[in-house]
Amino acid sequence: MLTDFATLRAREFARLDDNGQAYLDYTGSALYPASAVRRHLALLERRVFGNPHSHHAPSEASTAVIDAARQAVLEYLDADPAVYTVVFTANASAAVKVVAEAFPFGPECGLVLTSDNHNSVNGIREFARRAGAPVRYVPLDDHLQCPTALEVLGSAQPRRGLFAFPAQSNFSGVRHPLTWVAEARARGYQVLLDAAAFVPTCRLSLREVEPDFVALSIYKVAGYPTGVGALVVKSIALAALHRPWFGGGSVDFVSVRHNRVKRRPGADGFEDGTPDFLAMSAVPFGLQFVCDLGWNNVRDHVGRCRSDLVARLQALAHHNGRPVVRIYGPSETTAAGVGGTVAFNVLGPDAVVLPYGVVEARAAAAGVALRGGCFCNPGAAEAAFGWPADRSGRCLDATADDFTPARFSQCLGDEWAVGALRASVGVATNTRDIDRAVEVIRTFAR
């Protein structure tokens, strides 16, 4: 069934227009549908929830909603519960860290990761290096894709370890090939798929693609609740992790006198402390909302919005005919392998990049929510901006402890961008939002 996105906007996201906001930061966070919040409120008003680690009816009620949330996450990813388990975390970053700190890295068990990765995935290298593991990055080309990924996986030594990549870039929107999962596994790697930017608008079936680890944040998918992320993990891969510590709730017993610990099996052994059980009780409402829209409808809507935005930004020109906007990554308006994200900079008539902060501030003043900076993805930023490696290295050394983007930019020279703008579209985006964003950028052409 077709979804009428205009009706959806009026019904679920009317607060956008009530507040005069053109929201284009869906890669930052999805927006919560009003109905999911109402359904959650009704549940909270009706039921009594207590600490799930106690043993009484309110505690059992909490355990039941946590189980339902686990089930909802597995269903959202079309995951076989006999194969996959859900470890709940605070967010996608914490889900990645569960793997990073417990993966058996060592001289014979390395890390390969794409240069296009969120810092929460880049951070795995710290654990890997501390364990003496070789770390290799797959480089990006000018289109912010990784054509040599399989070559690097085939040549990296040792041929064992972890391969980590994002299903969709939070910088450029590029969707990296999910076929890498099977290819990497066939080459002896376990795979961590960062699905945080992908699963909000694209179906991922863990029966078709079988990574060992998948990380995501619920608020990026459904806007609500915040504070809940998930590591969706093959039970067999979870059992092979070695946690460096334990916390309350993740152990069957600890003896202080006898220096013993027995960790809880499965996901419980990785979930420290009291879970955010009230937030978790909202997970099925948000995920159900997204599923009910229909994957093809979401794909078509987001694709149309992105194409429209890219075409209109590309059409902006200065009086001398030079473009106003430089887009990073695949710039074709209908790029199939790209999600609803556009990273760009605004150029002056002399083709010099304007500081992103100036554009971001003008947009914010006009009620247009864009994201500015490097979006926690330094590898994609370095490749997009084309900084000469020797020069950027020298400037990092020179700014060192006093690093700020402004000081770094001053050192690098104003022909190089340091930071960009990111516009990202989602299920609530309409043509008026795109008009407003384009109007802000057009003011730089005057």
Ligand X SMILES: Cc1ncc(COP(=O)(O)O)c(C=O)c1O
Does 395 participate in catalysis according to the annotation? Answer: no
Residue 268 CB, shortest distance to ligand X, in Å, is 22
Quick one: how far is CA 187 from the chain centroid?
26
CA-wise closest residue to 338 among 232, 422, 215: 422
Considering the rule CB under 6 A, would residue 339 count as an interface residue with ligand X? Answer: no
Considering the rule CB under 6 A, would residue 114 count as an interface residue with ligand X? Answer: no
Q: Which range binds ligand X by CB under 6 A, 3-11, 90-98, 232-240, 335-343?
A: 90-98
Structure tokens at 233: 């993990």
d(CA 380, CA 170) in angstroms, rounded, equals 9
Considering the rule CB under 6 A, would residue 199 count as an interface residue with ligand X? Answer: no
Q: Is the peptide bond before 330 cis (omega within 30 degrees of 0)?
A: no
Residue 351 CB, shortest distance to ligand X, in Å, is 30
Q: Which is nearer to ligand X, 224 or 444 (CB)?
A: 224
Q: Which of 30, 72, 87, 92 binds ligand X (CB under 6 A)?
A: 92
d(CA 316, CA 306) in angstroms, rounded, equals 16
Considering the rule CB under 6 A, would residue 118 count as an interface residue with ligand X? Answer: yes
Give the Cβ contact number of residue 286 at 10 Å: 27
Structure tokens at 320: 């001398």
d(CA 208, CA 43) in angstroms, rounded, equals 34
Considering the rule CB under 6 A, would residue 166 count as an interface residue with ligand X? Answer: yes
Give CA separation, 82 vs 74, 193, 198, in Å: 11, 20, 24
Structure tokens at 38: 């109402």
The amino acid at residue 165 is F
CA-wise closest residue to 380 among 114, 97, 112: 114
Q: Which of 122, 217, 250, 392 binds ligand X (CB under 6 A)?
A: 217
Considering the rule CB under 6 A, would residue 89 count as an interface residue with ligand X? Answer: no
- For the four alpha carbons of 287, 288, 290 and 296, in that order, the dihedral sign comes to positive
CA neighbours closer than 13 Å in the CB half-sphere of residue 37: 11
Considering the rule CB under 6 A, would residue 194 count as an interface residue with ligand X? Answer: yes
Considering the rule CB under 6 A, would residue 93 count as an interface residue with ligand X? Answer: yes
Q: Which range binds ligand X by CB under 6 A, 147-155, 189-197, 250-258, 281-289?
A: 189-197
Which residue has 């609740």 as its token pair?
225
Total binding residues toward ligand X, as defined by CB under 6 A: 12
Q: Which range binds ligand X by CB under 6 A, 58-66, 193-201, 258-266, 329-337?
A: 193-201
Q: Which range binds ligand X by CB under 6 A, 12-20, 194-202, 357-365, 406-414?
A: 194-202
Considering the rule CB under 6 A, would residue 250 count as an interface residue with ligand X? Answer: no
Do the beta carbons of residue 218 and residue 286 sit within 8 Å? yes
Q: Which of 109, 196, 418, 421 binds ligand X (CB under 6 A)?
A: 196
Residue 399 CB, shortest distance to ligand X, in Å, is 25
Q: Which range binds ligand X by CB under 6 A, 69-77, 190-198, 260-268, 281-289?
A: 190-198
Do the beta carbons of residue 422 and residue 342 sit within 8 Å? yes
Q: Which of 99, 197, 230, 282 binds ligand X (CB under 6 A)?
A: 197
Q: Which residues bind ligand X (CB under 6 A)?
A: 27, 91-93, 118, 120, 166, 170, 194, 196-197, 217
List the catalytic residues. 376
